[in-house]
Amino acid sequence: MNHHNQLLKHISKFSALTNEDELLLTSKLRHKLVEKKDFLLQEGQVCNHYYFVLTGCLRFYKIINTGFEQILQFGIPNWWLSDYLSINNQRPSGYYIQAVEKTEVLVLTRYDADELFNEILAFNSYFRLMMQKAYTASLKKIELMLCESAEDRYLQFTTGFPEFVQLIPQYMLASFLGFTPQFLSGLRSKKL
């Protein structure tokens, strides 16, 4: 199977690449299989890659002062994930990117991405739209965290993404939604 086809199909929903554009883009991508719990990025490393998730799931998290992991984002199929602050500033990351399960990604280096953004206007446009989608998702999460009760956050997420909730461990769901695994257990026992 050509691993690039999934990305090319995804791009075609938002932007039109020429055959020449597709060849240039695919020449810059590397396929990588990431085993469960393996890291693509660890705190202290400078992030130099963008990851497009083909299958599986990645998590983007930080270890907070209390020693707990705070998951900020998940990378699911057809989603780009990176530490955009580290990659843009070329400074050490304060985050981790880790496989939740066996995951396939396409890897694009920062250097190659910059070249593609300049060479392929349609890819630049596509990537800008993906960043807008990521920004919108981040704003929605902030809104949920600041404006909704824990019960409402849980209900909205489990109603909106029921298949995803079944895929990830409950302690990760709790971390993502901003509460402890024990609190989540209590919510689930209420059968909300």
Cα–Cα separations (whole angstroms), residue 168 to 5, 11, 12, 188: 26, 27, 29, 15
pTM: 0.91
Greater model confidence, 166 or 28: 28
The pLDDT of residue 188 is above 80? no
Beta carbons within 10 angstroms of residue 157's beta carbon: 18
In which residue are the tokens 């993502």 written? 176
| Residue 80 · residue 50 · CB < 8 Å | yes
The pLDDT of residue 59 is above 80? yes
Greater model confidence, 143 or 128: 128
Q: How many residues does the chain have?
A: 192
Q: Which of 3-17, 20-34, 129-143 has the lowest mean pLDDT?
A: 129-143
pLDDT at 191: 57
| Residue 141 · residue 64 · CB < 8 Å | no
The pLDDT of residue 146 is above 80? yes
The pLDDT of residue 161 is above 90? no
Structure tokens belonging to residue 77: 């199929």
Per-residue pLDDT tens over the stretch 176-187? 988 888 888 888
| Residue 79 · residue 161 · CB < 8 Å | no
Chain mean pLDDT for the chain:
92
The pLDDT of residue 75 is above 60? yes
Q: How far apart are CA 30 and CA 66, in angstroms?
A: 37
* CATH of region 4-119: 2.60.120.10
